[in-house]
């Protein structure tokens, strides 16, 4: 390691990103799979995706950097001959009819940061590796469900060379704009749980069965669907909750439903909130079933635990955001990112810039150009400071990371 770990690196004003080049490269990348409405069709593995990866490797080479593609399809870039340990990037695949910034911004910004440091002969250049992960979105017909490239990398040997991961991304929601923030330190990614509620009653004639003699499973399910948001928010008002699927059986207008099923999904940053929400749903389902002469049962469909980012690296990123001059806040991501995968292996942090109107996964995805430049400057400052501290100064080798719990 030829990084001097004892010397703090302060960005002097001469070392600055080229905002015009950043924006031009974002425009150029958006041409791969570009749509007339301004959106992008660049699903992982599509000809447009493969061409954009070849283009990225060319951009790296043009900057005098070494590009390589691993067996999973991830594209990496670094200073030739260096031994980088600080990874920064995101993904360049999109959903169908996606936007030009989701993922692409984090990759091009990381490229711009590495190019800038390399051009100035800055010692942080040798510590930094840029990545465009393969198939983050999981939108293709043959996709294994997303986060494929980061998951593959973390299952291989290369992750052992790394000591930190930084990802710059658009927020994809309205919170920053609402709160007047131009930058945000992302402290983690919310956990996502899905639970199915099954109500069992007695199917019967909807005309001849007196109201007080029904065991109406549909009504019981509807009561749960209407009541569950308030019960979950009562546990933790920062959570979000959704009943996105409900089904009545046999499902005829003249039959009292004998069985009904619904799926409740909630997302929250805190393990204890996720657990208490499940207890609330269980109590609600059983109480409702009992009151309406039915039997209620809940079962977990899937549980994705929250990803917790490294507190020390988050503090460093907060200082970098201040150095970049934007009003910065702290928040959790309600969408999944490659950073969630990395955080189980190395100290990880993310930076968000606002999404205009909270719109993402849409051709209308937009962030004002000055904010894109500011986010890239925050990434530059974070990389320089982390590199200046050396591998041990970024939070260790995963001391706060924890192994992921499997989905159920």
Number of residues that bind Zn ion (CB under 5 A): 2
Residue tagged 């920053």 (tokens): 176
Q: Which is nearer to Zn ion, 45 or 393 (CB)?
A: 45
Q: Which is nearer to Zn ion, 102 or 187 (CB)?
A: 102
Report, in Å, the least distance between residue 90 CB and Zn ion. 6
Q: Which is nearer to Zn ion, 104 or 203 (CB)?
A: 104
Q: Which is nearer to Zn ion, 108 or 223 (CB)?
A: 108
Q: Which stretch binds Zn ion (CB under 5 A): 22-30, 101-109, 217-225, 325-333?
A: 101-109
Report, in Å, the least distance between residue 361 CB and Zn ion. 9
Instruction: Confirm if 142 and 67 have CB atoms less than 8 A apart.
Output: no
Cα 117 to chain centroid, rounded: 27
Report, in Å, the least distance between residue 353 CB and Zn ion. 13
Interface mask (CB under 5 A) for Zn ion, residues 54-93, using x and -?
Answer: ----------------------------------------
Report, in Å, the least distance between residue 99 CB and Zn ion. 10
- Residue partners of 49: CB distance under 8 A and separation at least 6: 32, 33, 42, 43, 92, 93
Report, in Å, the least distance between residue 147 CB and Zn ion. 10
Q: Which is nearer to Zn ion, 39 or 103 (CB)?
A: 103
Report which of 5, 13, 11, 99 is spatially closest to residue 379, judged by C-alpha positions.
Answer: 11
End-to-end CA distance of the chain: give it in Å, rounded.
41
Q: Which stretch binds Zn ion (CB under 5 A): 20-28, 32-40, 102-110, 204-212?
A: 102-110
Instruction: Confirm if 274 and 193 have CB atoms less than 8 A apart.
Output: yes
Q: Which is nearer to Zn ion, 102 or 135 (CB)?
A: 102
Report which of 85, 84, 168, 189 is spatially closest to residue 398, judged by C-alpha positions.
Answer: 85
Question: What span, in angstroms and rounded, lies between the C-alpha atoms of 165 and 347?
Answer: 6
Angle at 12 between CA 10 and CA 15, to 5 degrees: 115
Its sign, for the CA torsion 109, 111, 114, 117, is negative
Report, in Å, the least distance between residue 73 CB and Zn ion. 16
Question: What span, in angstroms and rounded, lies between the C-alpha atoms of 185 and 93?
Answer: 24
- Residue partners of 80: CB distance under 8 A and separation at least 6: 64, 65, 66
**3-class SS at 148?**
helix
Q: Which stretch binds Zn ion (CB under 5 A): 54-62, 100-108, 207-215, 316-324?
A: 100-108
Q: Which is nearer to Zn ion, 102 or 129 (CB)?
A: 102
Q: Is 340 in the site for Zn ion (CB under 5 A)?
A: no
Q: Is 251 exposed, middle or buried (0-12, 13-18, 19+ CB in 10 A)?
A: exposed
Report, in Å, the least distance between residue 337 CB and Zn ion. 6
Residue in 102, 112, 129, 310 binding Zn ion, rule: CB under 5 A: 102
Per CB under 5 A, contacts with Zn ion among 13-32 are none
Report which of 73, 61, 50 is spatially closest to residue 156, judged by C-alpha positions.
Answer: 73
Q: Which is nearer to Zn ion, 150 or 288 (CB)?
A: 150
Q: Which stretch binds Zn ion (CB under 5 A): 23-31, 98-106, 344-352, 358-366?
A: 98-106
Question: What span, in angstroms and rounded, lies between the C-alpha atoms of 207 and 201?
Answer: 17
Q: Which is nearer to Zn ion, 151 or 288 (CB)?
A: 151
Q: What is the CA radius of gyration of the chain?
A: 24
Report, in Å, the least distance between residue 265 CB and Zn ion. 20
Per CB under 5 A, contacts with Zn ion among 254-283 are none
Question: What span, in angstroms and rounded, lies between the C-alpha atoms of 167 and 178?
Answer: 22
Report, in Å, the least distance between residue 340 CB and Zn ion. 11
Q: Which is nearer to Zn ion, 99 or 390 (CB)?
A: 99
Residue in 45, 98, 103, 296 binding Zn ion, rule: CB under 5 A: 103
Q: Which stretch binds Zn ion (CB under 5 A): 25-33, 95-103, 272-280, 375-383?
A: 95-103
Helix (DSSP H) and strand (DSSP E) numbers for the chain:
10, 15
Q: Interface residues with Zn ion (CB under 5 A)?
A: 102-103
């Amino acid at each position: 390691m030829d990084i001097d770990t004892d010397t703090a690196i302060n960005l002097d004003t001469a070392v600055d990103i080229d905002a015009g080049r950043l924006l031009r490269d974002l425009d150029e990348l958006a041409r791969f799979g570009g749509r007339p409405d301004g959106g992008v069709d660049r699903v992982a593995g599509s000809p447009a995706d493969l061409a954009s990866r070849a283009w990225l490797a060319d951009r790296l080479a043009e900057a005098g950097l070494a590009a390589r593609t691993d067996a999973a399809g991830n594209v990496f870039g670094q200073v030739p001959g260096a031994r980088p340990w600080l990874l920064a990037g995101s993904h360049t695949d999109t959903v169908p009819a996606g936007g030009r910034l989701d993922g692409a911004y984090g990759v091009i910004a990381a490229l711009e940061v590495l190019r800038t440091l390399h051009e100035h002969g800055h010692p942080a250049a040798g510590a930094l590796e840029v990545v465009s992960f393969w198939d983050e979105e999981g939108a293709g017909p043959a996709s294994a469900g997303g986060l494929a490239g980061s998951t593959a990398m973390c299952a291989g040997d290369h992750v052992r060379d790394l000591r930190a991961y930084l990802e710059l991304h658009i927020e994809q929601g309205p919170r920053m704009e609402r709160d007047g923030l131009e930058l945000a330190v992302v402290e983690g990614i919310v956990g996502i749980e899905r639970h199915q509620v099954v109500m069992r009653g007695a199917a019967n004639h909807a005309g001849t069965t007196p109201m007080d003699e029904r065991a109406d499973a549909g009504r019981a399910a509807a009561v749960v669907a209407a009541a569950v948001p308030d019960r979950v928010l009562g546990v933790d008002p920062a959570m979000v909750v959704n009943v996105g699927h409900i089904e009545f059986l046999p499902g005829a207008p003249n039959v009292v439903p004998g069985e009904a099923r619904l799926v409740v999904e909630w997302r929250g940053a805190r393990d204890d909130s996720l657990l208490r929400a499940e207890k609330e749903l269980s109590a609600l389902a059983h109480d409702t079933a009992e009151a309406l002469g039915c039997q209620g049962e809940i079962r977990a469909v899937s549980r994705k635990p929250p990803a917790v980012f490294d507190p020390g690296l988050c503090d460093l990123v907060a200082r970098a955001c201040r150095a970049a001059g934007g009003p910065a806040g702290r928040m959790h991501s309600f969408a999944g990112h490659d950073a969630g995968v990395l955080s189980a292996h190395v100290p990880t942090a993310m930076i968000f810039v606002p999404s205009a109107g909270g719109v993402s996964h849409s051709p209308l995805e937009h962030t004002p150009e000055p904010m894109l430049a500011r986010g890239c400057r925050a990434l530059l400052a974070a990389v320089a400071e982390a590199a200046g501290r050396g591998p041990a100064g970024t939070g260790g080798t995963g001391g706060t990371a924890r192994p992921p719990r499997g989905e159920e």
